[in-house]
Structure 1
Amino acid sequence: MRALLKGFRDKQFGVFTTAQARIEYTRAELRARLHRGEWVPVFHGVYREATVQPGPELRVEAARLSMGLPVLIAAYDTAAELHGFSIIEGNATHVLGVQPSRSKQLVVHRDRLHSVQVASTNGVPTTTAARTAIDLARTLNRMDALATLDAAGGLGLAPDELGEELSRHHRRRGFRQAVDLIALMDGRAESPMESRTRLRCVDAGLPHPRPQLEVLTADGSRRLDLGWPQYRIGLEYDSVAWHCGLHAAARDNTRHNQLTTQGWTIFYATAQDVLHHPATFTEPIKLAISRARPCTR
């Protein structure tokens, strides 16, 4: 890349515009690099090199340049990416503004914003962590919303901060959902699927389970994804990544045996169960709780 364009690129999170490229390159040279795949379009009139990863900083800057704005504020899931608690898999870039987008991969939200709701993350203007979490808690489906709140809590965002932010969203769509889910958020959850599993239990009318429950056995401390210590009942999310491999079966069987020896009953839930058939694990747990004698210690 020629020197002047490299300077633009380095100041713009790895992207550059057609106009900037045309200072040093002819139209034919620009088309040739695009044809060879050396340069890749991000948004209209904005490119990146194929070797540069399109992270949220790059995408927001590309959106700003494409829209011809002096400042552009990242919002919703793109802001969550920047703050480190996004749980949504997708490539769309979410920003605040009024100008409609030409791309399905660029979502422009016409939300009002107070100055206290603006932050800077990695040099990118963004909604604050609290504003971002509330926006997603209001608008995502309940399972993804709780998983987002748990992830934000795991990074230190406190319910009090969320409550203060929530007061600014009264009468907005999803306000009641956000209120209900903030009461359930728990930063101890270690994955989005654990958060979704916990919500399935709560929605089924089960007592609220404790995330990442430590259980002391004769062979040391064992940790359960979710548990009801008063009934000595545990629930494990059966992740393929964790439960596959050469030593997985031996490890899991030993762990299960140690817990059952201590009087624990362990249930398991798969992704299919959690997403589509929660009764396959919530109903057996209900039955086990109805038959259990509560423990006092």
Structure 2
Amino acid sequence: MADVVEVLGRRGGAAAFAELRSVVSARAIRNALTAGEIRRVAKGVYALPAAPSALVAARSQGGVVSHLSAAQHWGLGVITPPRLPHVTLPPGRVRRRTGLPCVLHWANVPVLGDVTTPLQTLLDCFRTLPLADALAVADSALHTGLVQPDELFDAAARLRGPHRRRIRQAAALADGRSESVLESALRTLLIEHGLGGFVPQWKVADADFSARIDLANPQLRVGLEAEGFEHHGTRRALVKDCRRNVNLVIRGWTILRFSWEDVMYDGTWVVDAVARATGRPPLTNALRRAA
């Protein structure tokens, strides 16, 4: 007879009583529950104490993990993690009062196991999220190869019904060259304010030097760096970054470096700075206020 904890572990941390009972005894289930090795999360649904909350919530409602929770499951970049798990139920199914709290959606969706497929996850995020959050997820999926660009374009083109135009536009903007959610968010600011001409991960190279710029306008030689602290938190990293910046400047590049706080919480200042650097009038008076 199999061990209850082992069975739940192989089921992703949660399972219905009938699934457990097919391989373990009712007495073993009761003993594991009494010992605190498992917990009851809904009528007839049991889970490991450390089971992934999204998966447990989905099974407690009889649905599948979806949207941003599915993006997290697939290891994709997420700007703002969801406060509650996202779960999709088949149309017509009602919320279980004994199920765990979650954000519910209703649709017939393709799944792998108990999670929406990576492609469906992108389409759901395009449909429900602000552009920056949606592109962070999509850029990550394309960058890792979990979803192919043609696959995404074709799926978006085949869609019918509400939000199809929004989804198609977002699919066309997704770019697997972006290497972080911060880069995706910075690129979205440029897109939303009409600051075109910027290319992700542009390579600058000659016989003595080589570097890639997060977002670059090659024609104007203006580069933007999305600076995450984790990549610059040591003395060695600081010295290397200073040398790199000087090498870009002496090769004719203007480099603007933006922090997470800049991009996420002061976007008007960021777009004004980029506008000025590219020879355009500022879009607001944010720079003047900052001075």
2:269 alignment partner AA: T
Matched, 1:106 2:71: no
- SS of the residue 1:190 aligns to: coil
Residue 187 of structure 2: aligned partner = 198
Return the alpha-carbon distance in structure 1 between the equivalents of residues 200 and 240 of structure 2: 21
Deviation at 1:221, TM superposition (A): 0.9
Return the alpha-carbon distance in structure 1 between the equivalents of residues 118 and 29 of structure 2: 43
Residue 54 of structure 1: aligned partner = 52
Deviation at 1:93, TM superposition (A): 4.2
User: For structure 2, which runs of at least 5 residues remain unmatched after alignment?
Assistant: 281-291
Deviation at 1:48, TM superposition (A): 3.5
Contact 1:239 1:271 in 2 (8 A): yes
Residue 80 of structure 1: aligned partner = 71
Residue 119 of structure 2: aligned partner = 130
The 5 A counterparts of 1:177-196 are 177-196=166-185
Matched, 1:249 2:242: no
Deviation at 1:201, TM superposition (A): 1.3
Contact 2:5 2:38 in 1 (8 A): no
Shifted more, 129-138 versus 96-105: the winner is: 96-105
Q: Normalised by the size of structure 2, how large is the TM-score?
A: 0.78
1:92 alignment partner AA: P
Q: Does the C-alpha gap of structure 1 residues 28 and 179 become closer, same or farther in structure 2, counting only changes over 3 Å?
A: closer
Matched, 1:23 2:16: no
Matched, 1:89 2:84: no
Q: Among all aligned residue pairs of Structure 1 and Structure 2, give the percentage whose two residues are the same amino acid.
A: 31
- SS of the residue 1:143 aligns to: helix
Contact 1:101 1:107 in 2 (8 A): no
Return the alpha-carbon distance in structure 1 between the equivalents of residues 194 and 9 of structure 2: 54
Residue 271 of structure 1: aligned partner = 260
1:187-227: CA deviation from partner (whole Å, max 9, x where unpaired): 01011111010010122221141111111156421111111
1:8-59: CA deviation from partner (whole Å, max 9, x where unpaired): 425523335568588125868734x34xxx4455555544444x45276xx1
- SS of the residue 2:229 aligns to: coil
1:201 alignment partner AA: L
1:94 alignment partner AA: V
Aligned length: 270
Q: Does the C-alpha gap of structure 1 residues 10 and 231 become closer, same or farther in structure 2, counting only changes over 3 Å?
A: closer
User: For structure 1, which runs of at least 5 residues remain unmatched after alignment?
Assistant: 292-297
Residue 295 of structure 1: aligned partner = none
Q: Does the C-alpha gap of structure 1 residues 197 and 3 become closer, same or farther in structure 2, counting only changes over 3 Å?
A: same
Q: Does the C-alpha gap of structure 1 residues 255 and 217 become closer, same or farther in structure 2, counting only changes over 3 Å?
A: farther
Return the alpha-carbon distance in structure 2 between the equivalents of residues 238 and 180 of structure 1: 27
1:63 alignment partner AA: A
Q: Normalised by the size of structure 1, how large is the TM-score?
A: 0.77
Return the alpha-carbon distance in structure 1 between the equivalents of residues 30 and 108 of structure 2: 40
The 5 A counterparts of 1:93-172 are 93-97=86-90, 98-102=93-97, 103=99, 105-113=101-109, 118-120=110-112, 124-156=113-145, 157-172=147-162
Return the alpha-carbon distance in structure 2 between the equivalents of residues 240 and 109 of structure 1: 36
Return the alpha-carbon distance in structure 1 between the equivalents of residues 174 and 130 of structure 2: 15
- SS of the residue 2:182 aligns to: helix
Return the alpha-carbon distance in structure 2 between the equivalents of residues 86 and 235 of structure 1: 20
Contact 2:77 2:137 in 1 (8 A): yes
The 5 A counterparts of 1:22-41 are 23-24=26-27, 30-31=33-34, 33-34=35-36, 38-40=37-39
- SS of the residue 2:27 aligns to: coil
Return the alpha-carbon distance in structure 2 between the equivalents of residues 190 and 43 of structure 1: 40
